[in-house]
């Protein structure tokens, strides 16, 4: 276990992909301030499905963001991964975070969505920097109350600060969108593999030009293994998946070594 250096008051970086205005971030900040010193760096605008993008081809801007007349955090003209990088390498000096929390995302980050998730990418970025990190999402796009998820994030933060996390691994947490009394515990899960049936809506703009808009829904959810993240959510359990960024398929290595390449 990589144990974080905990000071008397842990220093916790909050980030998200819904943008600095998002209510999920506000709810998270409110709870996490009870256990630590909070530093917020979040995208200036919504960044859904940006994947693990970083901004190389253009510069980044940073603006202080105030809420009810008080400094809340920094808004960045970039992606969630940019936010973590710029916090660590530019906005913070000697003092580095003990923990990175990304969220609370409005919408699930389960199964194949993890690879498109800006929320997950911020936690990956924290992990690459050697900081224990987790991503947290509520599994619905409907209007939602973030308060239970925020309290669970606080509880999990306390546990992670105490125990640390396995090397190069972050936790991807999804909260079922049900009232607190209907939640049936915590499941340690694996990333599900259900894919999308996708469709592009073909439309015509006011200037008579064609454009396309991606839509889709997950299929074959009923074929998921019982320990998949999406299955836990369907059972009203909190899903926690340990995620790493070593994408090597080790099982395939030996098979490929049999191939003959004549150069």
- Window 215-234: contact mask with a copy of itself (x via CB under 8 A): --------------------
Q: Compare residues 38 and 81 and give the one whose CB is closer to a copy of itself.
A: 81
Q: Provide, rounded to whole angstroms, the least separation between the CB of residue 7 and a copy of itself.
A: 23
Residues 45-64 contacting a copy of itself, CB under 8 A: 46, 48-57, 59-62
CA proximity to 39, closest of 54, 59, 23, 25: 25
Q: Provide, rounded to whole angstroms, the least separation between the CB of residue 222 and a copy of itself.
A: 19
Element (H, E) at 159: helix 147-163
Q: Provide, rounded to whole angstroms, the least separation between the CB of residue 70 and a copy of itself.
A: 23
Rounded to whole angstroms, the Cα distance separating 141 from 129 reads 31
User: Is 164 among the residues that bind a copy of itself (CB under 8 A)?
Assistant: no
Q: Compare residues 208 and 209 and give the one whose CB is closer to a copy of itself.
A: 209
Q: Compare residues 92 and 234 and give the one whose CB is closer to a copy of itself.
A: 92
Q: Compare residues 58 and 68 and give the one whose CB is closer to a copy of itself.
A: 58
The stretch among 4-12, 23-31, 33-41, 205-213 that binds a copy of itself (CB under 8 A) is: 205-213
- Window 234-263: contact mask with a copy of itself (x via CB under 8 A): ----x-xxxxxxxxxxxxxx-xxx-x-xxx
Residues 69-128 contacting a copy of itself, CB under 8 A: 79, 81-82, 85-86, 89-90, 112, 114-116, 121, 124, 128
Q: Which of 212, 217, 222, 226 binds a copy of itself (CB under 8 A)?
A: 212
Q: How many CB atoms lie within 10 A of CB 214?
A: 10
Q: Which of 30, 96, 168, 218 binds a copy of itself (CB under 8 A)?
A: 168
User: Is 152 among the residues that bind a copy of itself (CB under 8 A)?
Assistant: yes
Residues 6-45 contacting a copy of itself, CB under 8 A: none
Question: In b/e form, how buried is each residue of 109-129, taking b as 16+ CB within 10 angstroms?
Answer: bbbebbeebbbbbbbbbbbbb
Kindly report the three-state secondary structure assignment for every residue of 178-239. Answer: CCHHHCCCEEECECCCCCEEEEEEEEECCCCCEEEEEEEEECCHHHCCCCEHHHHHHCCCEE
First to last CA, the chain: 44
The backbone region for 49, taken as left when phi is positive above 0, alpha when psi lies in -120 to 50, beta otherwise, is left
User: Is 186 among the residues that bind a copy of itself (CB under 8 A)?
Assistant: yes
Rounded to whole angstroms, the Cα distance separating 139 from 152 reads 14
């Amino acid at each position: 276990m990589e144990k974080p250096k905990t000071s008397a008051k842990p220093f916790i970086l909050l980030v998200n992909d819904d943008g600095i205005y998002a209510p999920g971030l506000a709810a998270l900040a409110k709870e996490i301030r009870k256990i630590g010193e909070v530093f917020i760096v979040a995208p200036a605008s919504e960044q859904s499905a940006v994947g693990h993008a970083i901004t190389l081809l253009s510069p980044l801007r940073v603006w202080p963001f105030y809420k009810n007349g008080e400094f809340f955090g920094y808004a960045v003209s970039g992606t969630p991964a940019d936010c973590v990088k710029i916090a660590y390498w530019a906005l913070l000096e000697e003092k580095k975070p003990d923990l990175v929390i990304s969220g609370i995302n409005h919408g699930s980050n389960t199964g194949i969505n993890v690879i498109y998730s800006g929320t997950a990418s911020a936690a990956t970025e924290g992990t690459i920097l050697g900081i224990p990190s987790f991503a947290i999402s509520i599994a619905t796009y409907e209007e939602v109350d973030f308060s239970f998820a925020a309290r669970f994030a606080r509880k999990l933060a306390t546990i992670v600060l105490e125990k640390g996390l396995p090397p190069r691994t972050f936790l991807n947490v999804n909260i079922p969108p049900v009232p607190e009394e209907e939640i049936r515990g915590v499941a340690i899960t694996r990333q599900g593999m259900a894919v999308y049936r996708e469709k592009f809506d073909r439309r015509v703009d006011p200037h008579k030009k064609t454009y396309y808009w991606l839509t889709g829904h997950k299929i074959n959810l009923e074929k998921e293994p019982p320990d998949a993240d999406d299955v836990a959510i369907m059972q009203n359990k909190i899903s926690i998946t340990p995620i790493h960024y070593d994408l090597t398929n080790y099982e395939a290595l030996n098979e490929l070594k049999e191939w003959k390449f004549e150069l």
